[in-house]
A and B are shown apart, each in its own frame.
Chain A
Amino acid sequence: MRFTVSKTHTTRRWRTLALAGITAAALAVSGCSIQITSQPDPSIGEDTMLINADKGNPLFDRNFNPYITNARTAARWIYEPLILINPLDGAEHPWLADSWEQPDPRTITMHIRDGVTWSDGEPFTAEDVAFTFQLIKDSPELDIYGAWQHLDSVEVDGDTVTLALQSDDTPALAIIGKTMIVPEHLWSDVEDPSTYRNEDPVGTGPFVLGNYNDQQYSVDRNPDYWQADKIEIEHIVLPSTNNQLDTVTRGYDWSYSFISDVSGTWGAASPNNKWWFPNAGVIGLMPNNDVAPFDDVHVRRGIALALDRDSIAEVASEGYMEPAGQTGLILPNQEDSLDPSIPNGGIIEQDTDAALAEFAKAGYTQKDGTLVDEDGTQFEFSLTTANGYSDWTRAAQAVQRQLGDIGITVSLELPQPAGYQQAISNGDFDVAIGGMGNGDIYQAFNSLLSSDFYVPVGESTANNFARYRSDDADRLLAEYRSTVDEGRQGEIVDELQNIVYDELPVIGMYYGGSWGLYNDAKFTGWPTEDDPYMIPQNYDSAPLLTFTKLKRATGGQK
């Protein structure tokens, strides 16, 4: 090659280039501190709510079949359940069912609400309820809550629906009650309900479908809604949103997501932007109770005593969440059910000496700073968590450090979410990060402790991934199912808490949150810590109650 550049020329040029690069980088870094503000679309009126609740891919599929998991979010605001449940505390609100009784543990009778009409004007009747149950029986793909795992038969007499259960099963009410009712007069002609897109939905809910577009749709107030006097929102607009910058800048009235540094991002974008992050679950360590040495309660308790939950909660959730107790309950939501005899609300404090004493009972002793068994082998295990769940990953790293301090070697396994799900379903792990707790107390303990879900390592289960078994727990859960006496149920819940506290099938660390972001400029009356009437999530059926509580800030339409 005959083309060369003189040396000095090159050097000078690179110097200029480097300078330019540094300037650009400095600009980029300073750019990160540019404050992004909320820029609401002026064409969206005072009576209209902009909700960030539906994610397109990135376009929407026009699907309003409430039983398909990929349906549009608003499908579940158009179709209503029999009973509306607050996932925070399991509270049951009468919805399309006006009232209900459980005369014995095998029977539920529901009285259907009077004066409800479908949005096409047809009356809503108990026949529609019976039709819906038959529909999800015939198309098990649609039975997403598993009503027919509990139901035996459904009979209608006037406004009363009698649901016969397969066995003594009082907690089934909460599952069966979630069933969303669809109109018989329109759905009876549907050929294949499991792929039916229901493009023009007709429901009983507070809203009907308005404009529809691949990137945005709206729902309009249903003037004939059975509690129309409580709905002050005229329209709701749902754009297909895909990034968090949009969440902050587009002027949403209601959004839902974990957002880093919420006060500096969402909070700083508008003075009316507020948030409420109630405790909605317990994040903990799931030891594989079927695998040595985690089948030894002393090992599980030793690990529990070695953890500093304050620091784990701080690191994992950026300080938004608190350390969780070892009762299986979500506090403060389920405070009324807490067994007062359990010390400190069930929170296990870090106590290294006690931890070492527990490990000693299991045959592990500290030697030169490492924890070894009787043969002198280092105590080590792998901790599995899902790749991309950043709070879990930070918690796992904190656990790795803290257990490292007392001489346990923890290695992290980070498969993709699907691989993580497969690993915990099949028991292919030593210890995994996982959850416990449920607003419905029976479900919380049933999925945590029931040996019905127990399968050996290598087979797949949908619950009790920790593979815990206990005759006491099974007996208590069975007794709970067969009693309608709430006092006795309370005693059973106390005993179940003690099992979780003493046996540590899952080691609780900190609470998982429900990440409600809202703006009170146009609408007020949002659920808050002082008035936790509903979980602040803006998907599924939960918003149905929230919509009835929201009032127009400017005095409303009435």
Chain B
Amino acid sequence: MKYIAQKLGLFVLTLWAAVTLNFFLPRLMPGSPADAAIAKLSQNGPVTEATRAAIEAQLGVPTGSLWDQYLSYLHQVVTLDFGVSYTFYPQTVSSMVSTALPYTIGLVGIVTVLAFVLGTLIGVAAAWKRGTWLDSLPTLTGSFLSTFPYFWTALLLLFFLGYVLHWFPTTGAYAATSTPGFTAEFIGDVLLHAILPALTILITSLGGWIIGMRNAMINTLGDDYVTFAEANGLRGRTVAIRYAARNAILPNLTGFGLALGGVVGGSILVEQVFGYPGIGYLLFNAVIGQDYPLMQALFLMITVSVLIANFLVDILYGVLDPRTRR
């Protein structure tokens, strides 16, 4: 109990620090939201003083001292009402986030779970059959593929499978002509559009899980209790799964917890390349447009979920490995 209370205290303190940083960091960027909007407009032609005034009025660019802004920001955090976006005026931040979140959780969330499960299983098999092709093939291709930058893999897949071979749609989360709804047709369409981005994330993240699991597993395989289990004549699969893998999975589980926390941040580059309407796409545009309200809401959501995931992993660790509680 004391362990949990300690972790909870730390959680609250980190949360406040994160919330405060989240307020000040965007404001340290050079230029204001109006500057960003005008820079965007002036690429299309000269922007007059009157247009600048109209834009500042439209955006409701922050007024008052930094302290007043901070207080109203804290109020927003507590009430979860972040007001109107600057870049996407007059849309509200909450409506934009709630539209984007399901796509990101659906895409990045499912792929993260899939990559973790697949990678861990392959890692177990690789360590168990070490020295054979079952080890070298996945570890080497895994480490090779995980060195690819996300966006490069995304562009290659998009270009060859999308534009050259026309196997998959190239942009969006569903076809422009389909009507969103809980119909088999629409769900199939969403799945088809998710294949390329999902493949990108899977290809680049799978290697990490494989190698992490394999290396941890090889360590445990050298431990005495494994030798003892083998000497007792237990079946190979029992030794691999129940004895070795169960202990080796701890570091991978930490990584998984953090990865799950990071899911809500979306995958900025992948979503950008595929024009996928998720959180990563929003975040990119929010930063480019110096959209304080949207940035604050998104960063808050990301930090809070990473903190919660971290907290849960801490608790889970205490359960799985009693030594950490001391």
Q: Is the CB of A447 within 8 A of B46?
A: yes
Complex-state Cα separation, A282 to B52, whole angstroms: 21
Looking at chain A's contact residues, the main secondary structure is: loop
Q: Is the CB of B170 within 8 A of A149?
A: no
Complex-state Cα separation, A462 to B39, whole angstroms: 11
Question: Is A370 among interface residues, defined by CB-CB distance under 8 A?
Answer: no
Complex-state Cα separation, A537 to B43, whole angstroms: 12
Question: Is B74 among interface residues, defined by CB-CB distance under 8 A?
Answer: no
Q: Is the CB of B160 within 8 A of A31?
A: yes
Using CB atoms, name the residue of chain A closest to B272.
A242
Best-buried of A57, A63, A245, A281 by chain B (most CB within 10 Å) = A57
Q: Which residues of A contact B164 (CB under 8 A)?
A: 31, 34, 36
Binds B, one of A109-117, A161-169, A417-425: A417-425
| Chain A positions 458 through 499: 1 when the CB is less than 8 Å from some CB of chain B, otherwise 0 | 000111000000000000000000000000000000000000
Kindly identify, within residues 86 to 101 of chain B, every residue whose CB is under 8 Å from any CB belonging to chain A. Answer: 87-91, 99
Question: Is B14 among interface residues, defined by CB-CB distance under 8 A?
Answer: no
Q: Which residues of B contact A418 (CB under 8 A)?
A: 29-33, 35-36, 39, 289-290
Q: Is the CB of B275 within 8 A of A58?
A: yes
Question: Is A222 among interface residues, defined by CB-CB distance under 8 A?
Answer: no
Q: Is the CB of A421 within 8 A of B31?
A: yes
Complex-state Cα separation, A149 to B53, whole angstroms: 11
Best-buried of A1, A13, A422 by chain B (most CB within 10 Å) = A422
Question: Is A532 among interface residues, defined by CB-CB distance under 8 A?
Answer: no
Kindly identify, within residues 147 to 199 of chain B, every residue whose CB is under 8 Å from any CB belonging to chain A. Answer: 156, 158-160, 163-164, 166, 170-172, 174-177, 179-180
Q: Is the CB of A58 within 8 A of B281?
A: yes
Kindly identify, within residues 371 to 412 of chain A, every residue whose CB is under 8 Å from any CB belonging to chain B. Answer: 386, 389
Interface size class of B (residues with CB under 8 A): 35 or more
Contact status of A213 and B57, CB under 8 A, knowing A59-B277, A417-B36, A462-B49: no
Q: Is the CB of A146 within 8 A of B53?
A: yes
Q: Which residues of A contact B3 (CB under 8 A)?
A: none
Q: Is the CB of B40 within 8 A of A417?
A: yes
Within the complex, what minimum Cβ distance (angstroms) separates A456 from chain B?
A: 17
The one of A13, A215, A537 that contacts B174, using a Cβ cutoff of 8 Å: A215
Q: How many residues of A are in contact with the other chain, CB < 8 A?
A: 71
Complex-state Cα separation, A2 to B37, whole angstroms: 61
Within the complex, what minimum Cβ distance (angstroms) separates B115 from chain A?
A: 21
Kindly identify, within residues 44 to 95 of chain A, every residue whose CB is under 8 Å from any CB belonging to chain B. Answer: 57-59, 61, 63, 68-70, 87
Complex-state Cα separation, A142 to B47, whole angstroms: 15
Q: Which residues of B contact A175 (CB under 8 A)?
A: 48
Question: Is B236 among interface residues, defined by CB-CB distance under 8 A?
Answer: no
Q: Which residues of A contact B176 (CB under 8 A)?
A: 213, 215-216, 239-240
Q: Is the CB of A149 within 8 A of B171?
A: no
Kindly identify, within residues 280 to 305 of chain B, every residue whose CB is under 8 Å from any CB belonging to chain A. Answer: 281-282, 285, 288-290
Question: Is A369 among interface residues, defined by CB-CB distance under 8 A?
Answer: no
Using CB atoms, name the residue of chain B closest to A192.
B90
Complex-state Cα separation, A501 to B166, whole angstroms: 55
Q: Is the CB of A61 within 8 A of B88?
A: yes
Using CB atoms, name the residue of chain B closest to A59.
B277
Q: Is the CB of B49 within 8 A of A453?
A: yes
Q: Which residues of A contact B277 (CB under 8 A)?
A: 58-59
Question: Is B51 among interface residues, defined by CB-CB distance under 8 A?
Answer: yes
Q: Is the CB of A419 within 8 A of B41?
A: no
Best-buried of B35, B38, B88, B136 by chain A (most CB within 10 Å) = B35
Q: Is the CB of A70 within 8 A of B171?
A: no
Using CB atoms, name the residue of chain B closest to A422.
B31
Q: Is the CB of B276 within 8 A of A3?
A: no
Q: Is the CB of B140 within 8 A of A140?
A: no
Q: Is the CB of B91 within 8 A of A141?
A: no
Q: Which residues of B contact A420 (CB under 8 A)?
A: 31, 39
Using CB atoms, name the residue of chain A closest to B286.
A57
Q: Which residues of A contact B222 (CB under 8 A)?
A: 1-2
Residues in chain B within 8 A of chain A (CB atoms): 29-33, 35-55, 57-58, 84, 87-91, 99, 130-131, 136, 140, 144, 156, 158-160, 163-164, 166, 170-172, 174-177, 179-180, 218-219, 222, 273, 275-277, 281-282, 285, 288-290
Query: What are 24 A-B residue pairs whose CB atoms fall within 8 Å in the complex?
Result: A2-B222, A57-B87, A58-B277, A61-B88, A69-B55, A70-B90, A140-B53, A141-B57, A146-B50, A146-B51, A147-B50, A194-B57, A215-B172, A216-B176, A241-B171, A246-B171, A386-B39, A416-B288, A417-B31, A417-B40, A418-B36, A422-B32, A462-B52, A539-B44
14 more contacts with CB within 8 A, not counting A58-B281, A242-B171, A418-B39, are A5-B131, A59-B99, A145-B48, A145-B51, A146-B48, A194-B58, A243-B273, A245-B158, A419-B29, A419-B31, A443-B48, A462-B48, A463-B46, A463-B48
